[in-house]
Structures are given as structure tokens and as C-alpha cells.
Chains A and B, each alone.
Chain A
Amino acid sequence: MKKRSNTSKLYIPEPLFRPGDKPDFSNIKVPTEHSPSRPDPMVDAYKTEHMATGLVRVLKLDGTAHGDWNPNLSPEFLKQALRHMMMTREVDTRLFAAQRQGKLSFYMKSAGEEAIAVAAAMALDDKDMVFPTYRQQGILMARGWPLKNLMCQCLSNEGDPLEGRSIPVLYSVREKGFFSISGNLGTQMIQAVGWGMACAYKGSDEIAIAFTGEGATAEGDFHYALNFASTYRAPVILNVVNNQWAISSFQGIAAGQSKSFASRGLGFGLASLRVDGNDFLAVYAAVKWAAERARNGGGATVIEHFTYRKEGHSTSDDPTKYRPRSEPDAWPFGDPIPRLAEHLIELGEWDIDQHRTLREELKTIVRDTYKEAEALGTLATPSTINPATMFEQVFEEVPTHLRRQRQELGI
């Protein structure tokens, strides 16, 4: 008998660059042709294959807009978008600094990813429920949640709408269609599908939109979400924000040999798009397309937003320990904020002075609002939250055993 051989080797994907390396992303092709063309939103899901592996783009790096995905938005609308994105970054900068000052326990920036959250929010109706991760704070800016509420949540002070129960950033804002964020990754993807199924069951024209990072696509809930969304043709948009990094793990650990995260949708019979996530216009157009498909009964769309996490995972993370310090600057798709600003300048609707003035205005708003929020307490000051609230809302009513435990605490 012939001896069988096994020549397979255990393969462990590694990122291209580690600390000390000079990052060179010339392997990543930045498309200059602004295709693929935009099909009818009710197109057969399998006919989206070229979009799932290609890259939907509108804005070139020179700020000019091209192709039939261009949503042709008004300059006023684009200025609003720019404002929301810049506000998101200012708030992130301020709260990151506050964490370093010991005023709050933890924070997570979304630097480099602002276009995705803001464009998605602006492409949808405010009543469409968003199932976010911890890195879509731009949605709250776009939907006009008072900054002070956001800051008080992070400070866990007496202005915190969540009564100090959650760590910073895990917001919940039902009035703004922003579902309660969970620390457990992936869980909200399948919940969004359930919400979408409920919308369809009730004959509502609302849809649900969910986000995950590319790292958490490896969770079972991602698989559940795509499968159930497909089975029940749920009106949902399932977004994968591929920012290349899941804490210290590069996207290859989650992706395996897959060409794109969007292409995973195709296997489930879902329309799938891969989008330049640093291109506000492309993200807006893609979400609009998917929303139209969902509202017209075409079911779910998977959108991969190709972007880059410019900063550390969180205030507890130091990215220079696992990737080159200069890698964010080498990223070939630029930064979503200057890219949109360039576009407005290109349109003759914006200039450097206006940009600088807006930035100063937002800085002032953020600084003043932060002062108001901080006046209601910080992590460094004794908590004024009534300890009795700790036992409330575990259940609808406080049951006997929790009443007893509350008494044990002497309240």
C-alpha cells in the first residue's frame, strides 16, 4: 500500500508590516476608474458579485466626484455632513484627553471612520433603528443627540441617561433610533435582523441597520444574521466596517483567504457591496441603495466599508506595539474629513478659512459643553448617583430578593 503523505502546513496569517517596518501599501490598488456602475436596487443578489469584490467609489483623491454612484447631494447637505464628521472627531479628541486626565475610565475614538457612521445616518430616516457597535458615535452627531448627554454617559455622572450602569461609549438612545450598545461583540447583528423582521411583520416602512467590525464577523452571530436575513428576506442593512484591525489582530486573521468581507454576503444570497469607507459620497450612495432595496421588499444588503482605524483600539491600547507608527499615514485612501472638504472646495463651496473657522467653532462648542457636563461630576469626584438605582430595571419591577439585597446595602 502506498504511504499517504500530508504536505499541508499550518498557516498563520501575518500582517504585512510590524513595528519598525516601513509600511508600503502599493499592493492595495486604489481604483481610478469609477466603476462598477450602479444597478437597480432590486437587482438579483447574485448580480452584485462584481461590487462585492470591487470597490464602489465616487470621490477621487483630488476631490472630484465621478460615476453613476454619485448621489449629487446639495452643497448645504455636504456641509452638514462635514460638520457632523468634524464634530465627531472633536468630541473624540476631547473625551480621549479627559480619559488621560482621569476624568473618565475609558474611551474609544472613531478617527478615520467618521464618514461611515455619518453618511449611513444621513442616508436613512431617523426612525430606522441602528444597531451600532461602539465605533459609530458619528450617528449620534448626525441625528442630533445632545452632546452633553453623550459626555455625561462617558463621565458616568448624574447627567448620565444610563444612570452610571455602563462603561463609557456604550450608549443607548432609543429616541434617536440608536439601539443599546452591548459589550458582547456581534450580538446586535442578529437582533437587527429580528427588528427588521418585526418591521416587515407589522407592515411598517421602517428598516434596521446593523454594524460590526471586520474582526467580529468571525462571531457566530454574524453567520446567524446573514442566514436569517436571507431566509426571511428581512429589511436590514448589515454593515461590516473593515478598518483593518481588531485590537492587535490584522484583518487577515478574521478574513482568512477571503477576497472581501462583502463577498460573504453572496454565499447567503444577499446583495453585497464593497465601498470606499473614507468616501462620504460612496457610503451615502451605498446605504441609500440598500435602504431602497430593503424598503421595496428586496431584503438585506451586506456592505463592507473599506477603511482604516487611524488610532488605537481604545484608551487601553497602544497600537505602536503591533503596527508601524507611520502606518495610518501610509494608508492609501486618505482621511474622510479632508476628502469631503476637498470635494466642497472643488465645487467652489468651501475654502481653507471656512474650514478653519468651522473647526474653531466646533472646538468651542465641545469645550463649553464638556465643561457643563463635567460640572455634573466625573469619575474622579464622588458619585452622586443614588445607589438604590443599582437594583432597579433588572426586572420591570424590583422582585423580593432584590428588595432584600437593597436593604442589606442599607438603602
Chain B
Amino acid sequence: MAKMNMIEAIRSAMDVKMTEDPDVLVFGEDVGYFGGVFRCTAGLQEKHGLHRCFDTPIAEGGIVGVAVGMAAFGLRPVVEIQFADYIYPAYDQICSEAARLRYRSAGQFFAPLTIRTPVGGGIHGGQTHSQSPEALFTHISGLKTVIPSNPYDAKGLLIKAIEDNDPVLFLEPKRLYNGPFDGDPHKPAISWAGHELGEVPDGHYTVDFEQARLMREGSELTILCYGTMVWVAMSAVKATGVDADILDLRSLLPLDLESIIKSVNKTGRVLVLHEATRTSGFGAELIAEIQQHCFYALEAPIVRVTGWDTPYPHALEWEYFPGLERVSDAITRMMET
């Protein structure tokens, strides 16, 4: 066991897989010699060689397109898109190609590639360094979408993603790279150093997809969240004193619906949290499933606290971000209904 922040855990996952499997290649913009703008690939080129970890031209569609070809050949590319906000040029390759290759070729070809990309706000990233585009990908059949909230899960989920024979979009909440963040920007930053989920095994292990993590067990309310919002939820529950189940979904598609249903049937109340904009966001999917499967258990309308339906602003970040105050207010109001 070692203490790792999320950056180190992600790097460790790639290091483990590159050591085990010569077919694992890592590439993207600035990931080679420099080690990535967030340091996630630092040292990998030096350790594994220029051919295993290298820089690419600035062309997201090219990065993913090349990876699809390599993966179809039989390699296991792990590519980085520097910010999720810049993944759109690769959208065609992800949705029309990587996600459909197995289906349209009846299994003759498939694309076991992993696309890593930093997501989420809370870092004054403005419109193009803060987005949470997960719903644009969970809508795509043939693609798996996962998002860790802590170093332990980040490493285990990433190793799982690299080993998975389907294309996986691996979203990294960059606000959590160095420590958990509860949505209150006025508190001093916390590091992963003292946190139990910052204890990460050095070697190989995996975290399964379709397995939510029960962050906290309670009886009055179910909070469904992922990424940075997991820590906002934890803090808000503490602040309000409500006895809530907090489920970190970890894998959005495939989704651990079973754990969600079990929790909602127990509590009868549901709060859905995400940073992404509200309309047609992933929360809508969660709510639709819950009302279908837990209709008779529900004691109150399902509430969602999300980013507003606007582009992500710069100066008004804390009015936009669904932080501690907004989530706490929502919890309090819900418990009164």
C-alpha cells in the first residue's frame, strides 16, 4: 500500500498495465516527454520507452481514430484527451466507430481502447475547462462510461477499463486530482494524504464496473452522485444531519441499477446530483429508472441538483457549481416534504 493522490493512482494504473502487457500504448497531447499537463503520465515514457508513451499532433479526432485502428489490430491503446471540453472533434470516431465496430462487424473487429479525459468544474476553468459531458456518451450504445471519485477507485477502474474488451470512456474529475472537494471554495484545500481512499495498492487490482460504492449508509434519503459531487454530498449530509445512503455510481454505463433500487426502496426519497447541466443530463435517466422500478416506495418527488442549463461561467463559478449550500438546502427541503 502506498499513499497516492488521484494523479499518482491513474499513473500507477497505466504503469502496471504497461509493465504487464506490451500491447498497452499511451498517447495524447503532451503526454510523452513532458508527462501530461496534469502529470498523469509523468515518467512513463522514460520508464517504458518512446514507442510506448508518446506525444501526438493536436487533433482529438486523429488521436481516437488512430486508437480505433490500433485497437482493431489487437493493441490496447490508452489515449488522453487533454480536457473533456475538447473531446467533441473525436465524437464521430467514438460514437460512430469505436462504439459500433463490434456490432456492425458481428464481432470480427472490436475496439478495446480507453479514452481518459479530465472533467468537471470547480477550478475556475470557465467554459472550456469545466464541462461534464457524460450524458453525451451514456446515450451511446456500445460505449462504457466510468468516473471515479477517489484514488483507490481511479486506479482499479482504470486497470479494469484497459483490460476491458469494449471501448471505455474514463472521466477524471480534475477537481479531485489532489484531494477531495466538498464544494465550499472558502475552505482550505484538503489532500488525499490523510484519506483512507488515498491508500492505494502498488500492484495490480481492479474495481468492477456496474458496482456503485456505498459511501455512507443511512435510512432516510438516497443520494445518487458521482465524481466531485460525491464529496459535496458527504459534506452536505454531515451539515444537515440527515441519515442518508450516499451511492457513488462510479460506472454510469453499465449502471448498477440493483444497488440504486435497493437503496430507494429502503429510504423512499431520492436526491440526484451532478455538475453537468440539467436538461437531458444523466440525472434524467436515473430519475426515469427509479420512478419505473420504485414507484410505490417513493414518498416524495425526486429532486435533482445540477449545473444550470447555461455554459459554464468563469466569474460566477460558485453560483453555477452545485456546491455545499445548494445541496444542503435541497436536502433540508426534501426532508420537510
Point out residues on A near B: beta carbons under 8 Å: 129, 131, 161-163, 165-166, 170, 172-174, 179-180, 182-184, 187, 189-199, 201-202, 208, 220-221, 223-225, 227-228, 231, 393-396, 399-401
Contact = CB atoms under 8 A, between A and B. Distances in A.
Contacts of A179: 72, 109
Given A174-B105, A198-B75, A224-B66, 6 more contacts: A162-B106, A172-B108, A179-B72, A220-B61, A225-B65, A400-B257
A194 B68 CA distance: 7
A400 B210 contact: yes
Tell me what chain A mostly uses at the interface: helix, strand, loop, or mixed: helix
B62 to A, nearest CB: 3
A220 B96 CA distance: 15
Nearest to A192: B69
Contact of A182 (B51, B70, B96, B142): B96
B59 A182 contact: no
A269 to B, nearest CB: 13
B89 A396 contact: no
- Interface size classification for chain B: 35 or more
Contact of A195 (B70, B93, B105, B107): B70
B166 interface: yes
Given A201-B75, A224-B59, A400-B210, A162 B104 contact: yes
Contacts of A183: 96
Contact of A190 (B69, B141, B165): B69
A401 B74 contact: no
Contacts of B89: 220
26 contacts: A131-B69, A161-B106, A165-B106, A166-B104, A170-B104, A172-B105, A172-B109, A184-B97, A187-B65, A190-B66, A192-B69, A194-B65, A194-B67, A194-B77, A201-B75, A221-B62, A224-B62, A227-B62, A228-B65, A231-B57, A393-B102, A394-B103, A394-B141, A395-B102, A396-B165, A401-B255
Interface of B: 25, 51, 56-57, 59, 61-62, 65-75, 77, 89, 92-93, 96-97, 100-110, 141-142, 144, 164-166, 210, 253-255, 257-258
A194 B27 CA distance: 12
Contact of A399 (B72, B74, B254): B254
A195 B89 CA distance: 20
Nearest to B254: A399
A190 B109 contact: no
Contact of A201 (B51, B65, B164, B255): B51
B57 A191 contact: no
B103 A228 contact: no
Contact of B109 (A174, A187, A201): A174
B166 A194 contact: no
Interface centre among B66, B68, B73, B96 (most CB of A within 10 A): B66
A174 B104 CA distance: 12
Contacts of A191: 65-66, 68-69, 72, 97
B105 A180 contact: yes
A399 B69 CA distance: 25
A162 B61 CA distance: 27
Contacts of A187: 65, 92-93, 96-97
A228 B75 CA distance: 18
Interface centre among B71, B96, B105, B141 (most CB of A within 10 A): B105
- The 8 A-B pairs of least Cβ separation, nearest first, read A194-B69, A190-B65, A224-B62, A194-B66, A191-B69, A180-B105, A198-B73, A172-B105
